[in-house]
Chain A
């Protein structure tokens, strides 16, 4: 016996005794062997308390030896941070590992939070719900926020690399116990493409600790031979440390692969999306706890787990074992544990009719048997000191023990089965829910199917509440839900399983009730006089086991989370001192210079007084070409398309079928059958897809093609009184005089250097303005040539913010800013355009509904604050009435401190706005009420002379 591991048996187990690993737990150094889990290594070192419960901070030891573990959740320092709530039962004991217990202060053995336990009567089931009603959630919030939750969130950058992989296979086998391996072998021999996902670090399931005869061979030999054969097949892939976490439509299974998660040279977690022609679920069954007083003490474990620690890890979990069971599987574990050298003193069985065979086996080994007993309580406070029960003859008895191995029966692990659409049936005899009706292309085998090897035909007797009112009986260990909590829920009429679950929080902890759901619902059944089948189960949603958020995100983080679109001339703008901001997916210059407000004002005045330059490349550009192009667009736009002449430009609105404005912009007739549609920047993809949908799904008899050419063309917008002079100096352009190229004209040609160009005279600023499109790869060079042509410092680059001020001064709407999901074209002043068009267009019929014609709808107006020095942000409300009965009549959609006008102006939507010009209203913002006057939305050059100059 290794002196550092006093509870390690001298031989046996699947650990590598030739090597040791050293790790730290709560600051202390321990030794273990490769093949150990953290839980088995700690048990070998005599560490019993591994965590604290979530609500009451009760000391808790390890309950299980697998995925169902509710108690031994630990934080692990690995890579660059701390990973919280790792199951010690699945975590390999690695050399150099540093782990901590959770939910305790100052230490796991002495935790001040335990005060919660001593005052537990103050925190009954439904505590939160009650506090919300009385006295006040706020009175408790501070305390609840500090104590609620479990584990510590990692800080800093996560050093693990996460990736997603798509896999396809003929057969996906989930679980590598005897049934899973047999299924894999069969499919592999048939030549099928097989994937085996095992969440443990080793293959074999129960065969790793249990022995039996398989196909006439000892199970150890069978396991070795089977794994060797599977290993040799090219068509079989075996994945360990890989948890099948969710089952989705059309046989998609997500598998969280942690096989490289603890590599010292850059950990990797992989999220496999496995598409399988057939799924074989060999997920086994989960042993359930027994119900008796203090059944949560450290030193009370599932009998199968005690067996696993003895057989697989060669660990003695105790010296004097008492078994508390209601089924034969528990017996099987206890006898095996005894034979492996961990003496079992007594078996307390709640069934009166224990099989002769078992009674004989106990007698041979000198184990006392108490059939037909009623369990009472476990003795001890931080460890087990004995077990009390009422014998069949009515006398109360006590067993001296330091370990209680309990078995409340097996429950098939059917979460994935249910997610796949499988139906469960309650099995009275075995007291569990078993698969009843398999979905297509899915098979469930072995214990998961409800066929248990060790049953010998005898029944499982459901647990009942022990007659010990003074000590608590835990149903859900992690969430501290007791039998009394479930009784309380029933008394308060939470008798639906879904209500009981939410009220008591049973099964809602991070273990998802793997060892508590069945117990809770069968208690609910007993208390309400129903069968568990009538009560039913709650829905088992993905994920089956907690999956790292990073694994779900994959590489979609940092720069890959939402890839930014950069302008072709991004670097040129940076050289001009641009400060970039996000506008939709685009990174665009917000302004140029250091001082935001001053820069914006300078840029605005440059456009008003001389000339500004704006990179409008993200402007949506969609070409529509074909014999029916005009007819198609006439259905799309509110505006008349048919009358537009080639070479001319028209402003248009697009609506959805509900009559709501979804986009605006100009459209150009390039030729008789050829149009260019401009969309709002950032809306190009959406509108291109929308046009495709209309063409393909509704107007499919129209002959045309659509092409989104947005990124092909960079757009240089020159605006201001000097725009024409600067632009005309570019060799090769047409004559730009207003006589030959008036406002709303279009031309295309070649510049002197051979570059094709498209030019349209349109304005979003209210000044004389030209949009010059050149191939994107020429953007920076054209920008430079324009700047050179203008002369030093003459052509002022302006950012998006200045453009927004310019268009607000002009009262031009920005769809999506000045309009919302209810705004129709009438609301923004396009009633005349709508009524002039006699033909149908998308949304036309909706505009004829009485509601769309109401005169008290929110309508677009301008406003100016009476106090010339005040300002308000967009979002401020127009309010009416006095304090106490104040009402919002609408809100500010755009506002700016106008450098041109020297005051704050803005536009907004207000009820019945068109009829209220001149009226004084209040604008409410952050506690202030500012008087304002409703005016026409156009504050600058209302006649449009400057634009057309």
Chain B
């Protein structure tokens, strides 16, 4: 169970939030090819390390926002608004590959 810093309300328990998965790419135009469309629909990076993902403070302010989380340590490095540019995250001194379950 994570503690997630909502940009509006501050740090709250994961139970107050809804998960929205990895931030997808932008919606392709309708004339995109089948393969690229399938890629948009189904393919996700699922990285070991930093992931940009969507969360909604559904039992709080109701806002969707983006979280930068390390999938190994679960450390949350940054949160930012939908539509804002991706923040630069420095995790050079973090041992990403260790500490997993």
Contacts and interface: CB of A to CB of B under 8 A. Distances in A.
A850 B37 CA distance: 13
Contacts of A849: 34, 37
A429 interface: no
Interface string A687-711: 0010011001110100000000000
Task: Please report whether the interface of chain A is mostly helix, strand, loop or mixed according to DSSP.
Answer: mixed
B98 A423 contact: yes
Interface string B2-14: 1100000000010
A846 interface: yes
A923 to B, nearest CB: 35
B34 to A, nearest CB: 6
Interface in A386-445: 419, 421, 423, 437, 439-440
A514 interface: no
Interface string B38-77: 0001000000000000101010001110000000011100
Contacts of A848: 30
Interface of B: 1-3, 13, 18, 20, 27-30, 32, 34, 37, 41, 54, 56, 58, 62-64, 73-75, 82-83, 98-101
B36 to A, nearest CB: 10
A419 B28 CA distance: 42
Contact of B27 (A252, A698, A850): A698
Interface string A82-106: 0000000000000000000000000
A844 B29 CA distance: 11
Contacts of A248: 1
A275 B3 contact: yes
Contacts of A850: 34
Given A423-B98, A437-B99, A692-B62, A840 B30 contact: yes
B32 A440 contact: no
Interface in A834-853: 840, 844-846, 848-850
A273 B2 CA distance: 12
B82 A696 contact: yes
A364 interface: no
Given A248-B1, A437-B99, A693-B20, A846 B64 contact: no
A250 B74 contact: yes
Given A248-B1, A250-B74, A696-B64, A844 B30 contact: yes
Contacts of B28: 845
Please provide the 3 A-B residue pairs with the shortest distance between their CB atoms, ordered closest to farther: A696-B64, A249-B74, A421-B99
A658 interface: yes
B1 A250 contact: yes
B99 A249 contact: no
A874 to B, nearest CB: 31
A250 B37 contact: no
A458 to B, nearest CB: 33
B2 A423 contact: no
A440 B56 CA distance: 27
A697 B30 contact: no
Contacts of B63: 696
Interface residues of A, number: 30
A200 to B, nearest CB: 27
B62 A697 contact: no
B65 to A, nearest CB: 9
A423 B99 contact: yes
A248 B15 CA distance: 13
B99 A700 contact: no
A700 B83 contact: yes
Contacts of A698: 27
Interface in A684-737: 689, 692-693, 696-698, 700
A697 B58 contact: no
A697 B98 contact: no
Nearest to B34: A849
B99 A846 contact: no
A693 B57 CA distance: 11
Contacts of A273: 1
Contact of A249 (B2, B34, B41, B64): B2
A860 B63 CA distance: 39
A845 B32 contact: yes
8 contacts: A249-B74, A419-B101, A689-B58, A692-B62, A696-B56, A696-B82, A845-B32, A845-B37
A275 B14 CA distance: 12
B73 A440 contact: yes
A657 interface: yes
A421 B100 contact: yes
B73 to A, nearest CB: 7
Given A657-B41, A846-B41, A439 B82 contact: no
B37 A846 contact: yes
Given A689-B56, A696-B64, 16 more contacts: A250-B2, A252-B1, A421-B73, A421-B99, A421-B101, A423-B98, A423-B99, A689-B58, A693-B56, A696-B63, A696-B82, A697-B82, A700-B82, A845-B30, A845-B37, A848-B30
Contacts of A844: 30
Interface string A260-274: 000000000000010
Contacts of B2: 249-250
Interface string A807-851: 000000000000000000000000000000000100011101110
Interface string A844-877: 1110111000000000000000000000000000
B64 A697 contact: yes
Contacts of B75: 440
Contacts of A166: 13
Nearest to B83: A700
Given A421-B99, A423-B99, A692-B62, A249 B30 contact: no
Contacts of B100: 421
Contacts of A696: 56, 63-64, 82
Interface in A654-693: 657-658, 689, 692-693
A848 B30 CA distance: 9
A275 B13 CA distance: 10
Contacts of B20: 693, 697
A693 B99 contact: no
A623 to B, nearest CB: 15
B38 to A, nearest CB: 8
A696 B18 CA distance: 14
Contacts of B64: 692-693, 696-697
Contacts of A692: 56, 62, 64
A228 B56 CA distance: 47
Nearest to A851: B34
A391 B74 CA distance: 55
A275 B73 CA distance: 17
Contacts of B54: 697
B63 to A, nearest CB: 7
B44 to A, nearest CB: 14
